[in-house]
Amino acid sequence: MTQAASVSSVASVSSVASASSAAGSPHHGEWGSLDVDGIRIRVFRQGSGVPLVYLHSPFGEVGALAVFADLAEAGFQVLAPELPGFGQSDPVTSWRGVADVVFTVRRILDGLGVERAVVVGSSLGGWLAAELAVWFPERVRALALLAPVGLRVADDPVFPIFGAEDDVLLPRLLARPAEFSAYLAPALAWPVTHDGDGSGGEAGEDGGAGEGGGAGEAVAPDPLALPLHLFRAMEATARIGWNPYLHDPALAGRLTLVGAPTLVVRGELDGILPAAHAAAYTAAIPGARRVELADCAHLPALEQPAEVAQLVATITRSAKAASP
């Protein structure tokens, strides 16, 4: 791993966590849902401790992911909303620009009861996390941007993901392209219940059925589940970043407003996001640090979960040290 900042071994961030009696072992997570201004949002929760909000990539990775288990072990309460239009969350057709999306993300934080959180965003989620830190800095304790799109860098465009064939896209997306469907399987396995309380089944360590019962239990694999998931994900991503393509022309000039300790992470094998984009984020955000991960492409949270958890724990400790 080459990096611009040293990485310590995983250490619990319980020293910066307020005492919590939240139910649930770090080894398990559970689905639930919340209503945000009439929009039903599916949410995966795992662990207890420092609130951490994970904003997913254009591919909608949520559920019982290894990175969430690692973060829970490190002392975080992971809250992973499935953004509107992705997976089983309701779509939004009224967005007119990225500012509307960021306001929706802020309202999701309100609905989760989170005043201030560590925010981790992957790709599209990294862009939204950066915008959130610009517009609502009081809500962001620390910021981890994993291969974040959102900027336009002259002569170094983001690879066009819309309409790309799998044999072209996947080798750029992942160091191990054959793992793609396995990485997204957790998002397909846990339908939210519709029994009025928004609760879902508990996700077991082995990915099997939890204790939710009824509609919350795992269902038999549907061969159309993954294609439909990806169709919805690309449609929702297009609503946010079709034109201009996956960037906000005003964001670069506003990144100086980010006050949270920030880490920018990129995989050395990333064929979607050129290195110049990670460098631009790092240069524009005061005090930001940049790390490049070996044997990793565009989705570090999926490809290198333990290392990402280490990095997030480190930036969170630095946020605690910097607070008055």
Q: Where are the domains of the chain?
A: 2-322
Largest CA-CA distance found in the chain, in angstroms, rounded: 53
Q: Give the pLDDT of residue 190.
A: 59
Angstrom distance (rounded) from CA 1 to CA 213 = 43
Tally Cβ neighbours within 10 Å of residue 203. Answer: 29
3-class DSSP state for residue 304?
coil
State the residue for tokens 């694999």: 221
Asked if the bond preceding 244 is cis, omega within 30° of 0, the reply is: yes
Kindly report the three-state secondary structure assignment for every residue of 236-298.
HHHHHHCCCCCECCCHHHHHHHCCCCEEEEEECCCCCCCHHHHHHHHHHCCCCEEEEECCCCC
246 phi/psi in degrees, rounded to 5 = 45, 40
Query: What is the total residue count of the chain?
Result: 324
Residue 198 to residues 52, 81, 195: CA-CA distances in angstroms?
Answer: 21, 13, 7
User: Mean pLDDT for each consecutive 10-residue tract of the chain (324 residues)?
Assistant: 35 36 56 94 96 98 97 97 96 91 97 97 98 98 98 96 96 98 90 44 42 42 89 96 96 98 98 98 98 98 98 89 60
Q: Give the pLDDT of residue 222.
A: 82
Is 221:186 a contact under the CB 8 Å cutoff? no
Topology (CATH level 3) of domain 2-322: Rossmann fold (3.40.50)
3-class DSSP state for residue 228?
helix
Q: Give the pLDDT of residue 319.
A: 76
Strands (E) located in the chain: 2-3, 29-36, 39-46, 50-55, 76-81, 117-122, 140-146, 199-203, 262-267, 289-293
Strands (E) located in 114-161: 117-122, 140-146
DSSP state of 174: -
Q: Give the pLDDT of residue 150.
A: 98
Residue 191 to residues 83, 108, 209, 221, 320: CA-CA distances in angstroms?
Answer: 15, 19, 11, 12, 37
Kindly report the three-state secondary structure assignment for every residue of 190-216.
CCCCCCCCCEEEEECCCCCCCCCCHHH
Angstrom distance (rounded) from CA 167 to CA 42 = 31
Q: 127 exposed, middle or buried (CB, 10 Å; 0-12, 13-18, 19+)?
A: buried
Model pTM? 0.86
3-class DSSP state for residue 311?
helix
E strand or H helix at 109, and its extent? helix 98-112
Q: Give the pLDDT of residue 3.
A: 40
State the residue for tokens 């981790």: 120
